[in-house]
Structure 1
Amino acid sequence: MTAQQDLLERVRHALRDRSPREVSMFGGMSFMVEGRMVAAARREGALLLRIDPSTAAELLARPGAHPALMGADRPMGDGWISVDPSALEGSGLDTWLAPALSFHAAQGTT
């Protein structure tokens, strides 16, 4: 099983009660909840998250977090972060999904 396949299964399990729709985009498989992207499992096993831009600096200070890039060098902006596979081990995935789900909830439904 590849790192991406493992992450896909773990994210599916973590979001199972939210009935996510999976869409291929952002260099991996994105998870849409209520029509909005929450996270994506990228090909190399990293997790892409949609977050509240006002929390970006705090989240980027955590080990394994980086500004998200589109392609080799195009920043996606303050509302996006990428998390290394090593930071997602054990309960790390739930810890990282929490701020994305919190931001999603604050945005309301579409």
Structure 2
Amino acid sequence: MKQPIPASRLSRDQTRAVLLAALLGDFGLHHFYLGEPYLGMLYLLFCWTGVPGVLASLEAYRYGFMSADAWAARYNGGIPGRPVPRWLPIALFVVPLVVFVAILAAIGAGYDF
């Protein structure tokens, strides 16, 4: 019979955690992925307020800019994994900024949303 892998031996991918926090962080999926079910439940419980979305965005940046060694020490029991591509956290900052500027430019040009 196959033995289950202990939670401390699971390898958690840093890039996957960044993407989960950025795209589905409102619902706390990144916390479930990282083995923090109580935080995930809190995010899920309060997802309608918008606060978990803001917190998840900040966590996506934190995970994205965290070094691979710090990630391994905190979430992988010291086992190193692949680092996050450097373009990903930058894109997570630039894309919403460009959308925001485009909306402001459209409002300034007289478009009514």
> Fold conserved (TM > 0.5)?
no
TM-score (norm 2): 0.27
TM-score (norm 1): 0.27
Between structures 1 and 2, the one with greater helix share = 2
Between structures 1 and 2, the one with greater strand share = 1
Bigger CA radius of gyration: 2
Higher relative contact order (CA 8 A, sep 6+): 2
